[in-house]
Amino acid sequence: MVQIVTNPFTPQSGLEPKILGARDGLVEEVLSLLVKRGRGEQFHLLMLGEWGMGKTSLLKYYKKLSQNKGYKSVYTALTKGDKDESYKDMIFSLLEEISFSLGLNIDISGLFKKFKNIPIATIEAFKNIYLDSNSELLVILIDDVQNASGAPKFLDILRLVLSSEQIIKDTNYLFLLSSTPGGWESFLKRYDPVGRFFRKKQILSKLDKNSLEFTIKNTLLNTGVVFKEGIIENCWHYSEGHPYELQLLANHLYDNQVKGVVNNSCWDVSLVNTIKDLGIEYFSSLYNKASDREKELLVIFAESGEYISLPELRELIIYKKKIKGYPVANIKNFVYRLIDKGLIIRRDDKKCRILDRMFAEYILRFK
């Protein structure tokens, strides 16, 4: 009898995958940065990745790496604050959380009362935390920095504090921040020096085909379940290597195995359930960002799946779809709006395509 173990795929936000595919280069880089930083070289790191690309998983992995090297490390995620949460509240919570996670007993509110000036109070707090931590290098990982876009000064104060002479002289911190690219852009628009400060960057991309295959096969090791060749090919075609989509799809496929085998008969039901989940979690709100006219274009992009130019799009509307009364003169504006809203992507040659193949399937099957 085949022994089937619990589903090894991890489609939960931030749940560390069993196999971290295609991140070896980035991990190597962080290892060498830790060495440099341990020697006192000054820099901090920014990680950029779209939704579900693996920011949280990788930051948590970096926390373990740092600890293995003997450095204490704190992981924290910024949450979307209340509408009127100020940058001061955010800095205060960050300091309290770091102090608490390290098991230190530092009176942060006392420092904020004593030093009315926020950067000075923050410098004092970071100095105290560093000294009490007894760690040669203190690694602070802050996830989802885009959530501070309502109080962007938070980041500028952090930059100011980290570049202050006292912090450089008396402490040794390494900050690793993660953000979505769009969220980061919004900081740069407000506080340009922030970009220059976080010059070292890691950009998270989708997995390539080999890494996807490696990730699936190795996640399945010792489970008693196999994915037949065509299934892995399909996973590649539909997920295009997007880590979250891959985990979700593979999780459904695994759940539909029969006698330890996942083959074509499991495919449709798994794909439909994956798309349904993605719809609820993300695609439906994304789709609803489009106006009715834009939605009509979105269907054309979803059907094509390929990069298309504006003239090609115009042809499709008039001759293939024969949409009566479509304001063809405005296509360019509609397309630009769809790009701004993140529903389609544009290549250097100005041709555009649907954001994501799963998103295309969602539109074609459920809209």
Ligand X SMILES: Nc1ncnc2c1ncn2[C@@H]1O[C@H](COP(=O)(O)OP(=O)(O)OP(=O)(O)O)[C@@H](O)[C@H]1O
The reply to whether 279 sits near ligand X by the rule CB under 6 A is: no
Residues 200, 45: contact at Cβ < 8 Å? yes
Q: Please, which residue, 51 or 336, has the CB nearer to ligand X?
A: 51
The reply to whether 152 sits near ligand X by the rule CB under 6 A is: no
CA separation, residue 106 to residues 100, 102, 289 (Å): 8, 10, 45
Collapse the DSSP code of 35 into the 3-class scheme (helix H, G, I; strand E, B; otherwise coil) and give the result. Answer: helix
Q: How far is the CB of 314 from ligand X (least distance, A)?
A: 35
C-alpha span between 60 and 199 (Å, rounded): 21
CA separation, residue 74 to residues 46, 176, 271, 277 (Å): 16, 10, 38, 32
C-alpha span between 119 and 158 (Å, rounded): 8
Stretch that binds Mg ion, among 49-57, 159-167, 183-191, 288-296 (CB under 5 A): 49-57
Stretch that binds ligand X, among 4-12, 31-39, 82-90, 284-292 (CB under 6 A): 4-12
The reply to whether 56 sits near Mg ion by the rule CB under 5 A is: yes
Stretch that binds ligand X, among 6-14, 145-153, 268-276, 302-310 (CB under 6 A): 6-14
Q: Which of 322, 336, 329 lies closest to 291 in space, CA to CA?
A: 336
Structure tokens at 170: 């008396």
Report the residue from 75, 173, 244, 283 that binds ligand X according to the rule CB under 6 A.
Answer: 244
Stretch that binds Mg ion, among 54-62, 121-129, 266-274, 304-312 (CB under 5 A): 54-62
The reply to whether 215 sits near ligand X by the rule CB under 6 A is: yes
The reply to whether 81 sits near ligand X by the rule CB under 6 A is: no
Stretch that binds Mg ion, among 51-59, 128-136, 186-194, 323-331 (CB under 5 A): 51-59
Q: What are phi and psi of 176, to 5 degrees?
A: -120, 120
Residue ranges in 49-180 assigned as alpha helix (H): 55-68, 87-101, 108-114, 118-133, 153-162, 165-170
Stretch that binds ligand X, among 107-115, 240-248, 260-268, 327-335 (CB under 6 A): 240-248
What's the angle, vertex CA 201, arms to CA 243 and CA 40, rounded to 5?
Answer: 125
Residues 152, 85: contact at Cβ < 8 Å? no
The reply to whether 206 sits near ligand X by the rule CB under 6 A is: no
The reply to whether 274 sits near ligand X by the rule CB under 6 A is: no
Q: Please, which residue, 99 or 180, has the CB nearer to ligand X?
A: 180
Report the residue from 8, 26, 49, 359 that binds ligand X according to the rule CB under 6 A.
Answer: 49
Q: How far is the CB of 37 from ligand X (least distance, A)?
A: 23
Collapse the DSSP code of 102 into the 3-class scheme (helix H, G, I; strand E, B; otherwise coil) and give the result. Answer: coil
The reply to whether 55 sits near ligand X by the rule CB under 6 A is: yes
Q: Please, which residue, 57 or 99, has the CB nearer to Mg ion?
A: 57
Place of tokens 């075609």: 237
CA separation, residue 124 to residues 6, 172, 233 (Å): 48, 14, 55
The reply to whether 151 sits near ligand X by the rule CB under 6 A is: no
Binding residues for Mg ion, total number by CB under 5 A:
2
Residues 178, 49: contact at Cβ < 8 Å? yes
The reply to whether 241 sits near ligand X by the rule CB under 6 A is: no
Q: How far is the CB of 14 from Mg ion (least distance, A)?
A: 5
Where along the sequence are the contacts to Mg ion (CB under 5 A)?
Answer: 55-56
Where along the sequence are the contacts to ligand X (CB under 6 A)?
Answer: 10-15, 17, 20-23, 49, 51-57, 215, 243-244, 247
